Amino acid sequence: MMREIGVGVIGYGLAGRAFHAPYIRATPGMALRAIVTRDPKKVQADLPDMRVVPDVAALLAEPGIDLVVVASPDALHAEHAIAALGAGKHVLIDKPFAANLADARRVAVTGEAAGKQVTIFQNRRWDADFRTLQRLIAEGALGEIVQLESHFDRWRPAPTGLWKEAREGGAWLDLGPHLVDQALVLFGRPEGISLDLATLRDGSPSPDYFHAVLRYEKRRVILHATKLAAQYGLRFAVHGTRASWIKHGSDPQEAATLAGRAPGSGDWGLDPIEGTLTIGEDGATLSVPNERGDYRMFWLALAAAIRGDGPNPVPPNEAIAVMEMLDAGLRSAATRAEVAV
């Protein structure tokens, strides 16, 4: 029989509630056993029978916890991950890997020494639109990619006051990890990065806009996010030597879990907004059906890796590569110049 993997979660904000607890409960062979939070009522409203503990030490003392999910504020990621590894647990860290590159490297070294799995939750690899783009590239439908624009725009003109909006680096350390990771998955490491980072909203405590250009020898990758876009539908604009693909709309999985739907139910992960492929030679256009998005694929791969039956879905070296790009971006923004990577 398959050994059950006991899971404890640190934090029950958006990440714990929408991206971790529902998927742990939906993954065969995983069991959510305890959650750390200062607001037990939030957990009890969703999971009435769930055990809630007051702090990380109490969680690590719980019996039957094999995997600890670190969904606490960024500044605590390294501290909590290292404590869990020291207690003999596998660790999943929500993005960003850590508050800075040095802490990320420290966690990776600790995990390797402990002989435990350390993985980072880069769930956007399993978005419907990104999986569709990967398919188009693999099929050669676009030809050689020369320019890719990846947008994560929002209309949030008033700051919320949440800690996430006050983090150093602002939106670059919030949304940037998703977009950088996708770029590295598709094209590998660029030659340089230029980042324009700005605070555009009145009263915003940290940058709420970024525009990054990743320079490759024969392509440019543009990563863009703003919280002052009343029209924020564009997700991808990809141009190749054969065709262009334009995609609007966002993957539906986050909204579904926030609405209380269980992962895998009904039309789970089906993005109804199809992208448009325009053929360069004759200008013909056609709609492109989307691949199905499914974050459960990450969780199944993680369970297999913990059992020794498969590779880590997002190993530390890949997450450190993202952190290196984020760090280089901050240096670029500070100097207003490209930074070689």
**pLDDT tens per residue across span 222-248:** 999 999 999 999 999 999 999 999 999
pLDDT-above-90 percentage for the chain = 94
pLDDT of the residue at 227? 96
Question: In this structure, what token pair is assigned to residue 299?
Answer: 């969780």
Render pLDDT for 306-316 as a digit per residue (tens, 0 to 9). 999 999 999 99
Question: In this structure, what token pair is assigned to residue 105?
Answer: 């490297």
Give domain 124-294+325-340's CATH architecture.
2-Layer Sandwich (3.30)
Q: How far apart are CA 26 and CA 214, in angstroms?
A: 37
pLDDT of the residue at 3? 77
Computed over every residue of the chain, the mean pLDDT equals 95
What's the mean pLDDT in 255-267? 91
Render pLDDT for 32-44 as a digit per residue (tens, 0 to 9). 999 999 999 999 9
Provide the pLDDT confidence category of residue 265 given band limits of 50, 70 and 90. confident
- Return the domain boundaries, the chain: 5-121, 124-294+325-340
Render pLDDT for 71-94 as a digit per residue (tens, 0 to 9). 999 999 999 999 999 999 999 999
pLDDT of the residue at 2? 63
pLDDT-above-70 percentage for the chain = 99
pLDDT of the residue at 1? 52
pLDDT of the residue at 20? 96
CA distances 298 to 66, 179, 193, 248, 319, Å, are: 17, 17, 28, 24, 15
Residue 58, pLDDT above cutoff 60: yes
Count CB atoms within 10 A of the CB of residue 309: 10
In DSSP terms, 92 is beta-bridged to 69, 119
pLDDT of the residue at 238? 98
Question: In this structure, what token pair is assigned to residue 336?
Answer: 């207003």
What's the mean pLDDT in 12-18? 92
Give domain 5-121's CATH architecture.
3-Layer(aba) Sandwich (3.40)
CA distances 157 to 6, 174, 186, Å, are: 41, 17, 32
Residue 260, pLDDT above cutoff 70: yes
